[in-house]
């Protein structure tokens, strides 16, 4: 986990991009589309400028789905954003301890 990552908020509070959920285990998008079931999702990206983690399946899905033409990145990214409910409150019921 990046030291500059923001803290995890309480359940239902807007996502901070702390990355805790995706570092622990892939969500349904990561499982179904990337076939990864355990540990850190391979689509998790660190945005150094924004100081937060971002979902690579939203930002640049063609990087992870080799069959997807790069010109469809924005279109597919919007669909994955809806699928993972990006922009909604944090739904990760996990407790972070130092």
Residues that bind ligand SF4 (CB under 6 A): 8-9, 15-22, 26-27, 29-30, 41, 43-44, 55-57, 84, 90, 92
Residues in contact with 9: Cβ distance below 8 Å, sequence separation at least 6, in sequence order = 15, 16, 18, 90
Q: Which two tokens stand for residue 56?
A: 């690579």
Shortest Cβ 82–ligand SF4 spacing (Å): 12
- Residue 61 is classified by DSSP as G
76 versus 84: smaller Cβ distance to ligand SF4 = 84
10 versus 49: smaller Cβ distance to ligand SF4 = 10
Shortest Cβ 91–ligand SF4 spacing (Å): 6
1 versus 70: smaller Cβ distance to ligand SF4 = 1
Shortest Cβ 2–ligand SF4 spacing (Å): 12
Longest alpha-carbon distance in the chain: 42
Decide if 29 contacts 81 (C-beta within 8 A).
no
Shortest Cβ 19–ligand SF4 spacing (Å): 5
Decide if 44 contacts 55 (C-beta within 8 A).
yes
**Which residue carries 């924004």 as its tokens?**
50
């Amino acid at each position: 986990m990046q030291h500059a990552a923001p803290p995890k908020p309480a359940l239902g509070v807007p996502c901070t991009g702390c990355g805790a959920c995706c570092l622990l285990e892939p969500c349904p998008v990561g499982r179904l589309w990337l076939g990864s079931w355990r540990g850190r999702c391979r689509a998790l990206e660190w945005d150094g400028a924004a100081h937060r983690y971002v979902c690579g399946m939203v930002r640049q899905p063609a990087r992870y789905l080799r069959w997807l033409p790069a010109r469809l990145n924005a279109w597919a990214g919007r669909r994955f954003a809806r699928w993972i409910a990006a922009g909604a409150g944090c739904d990760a019921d996990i407790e972070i301890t130092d």
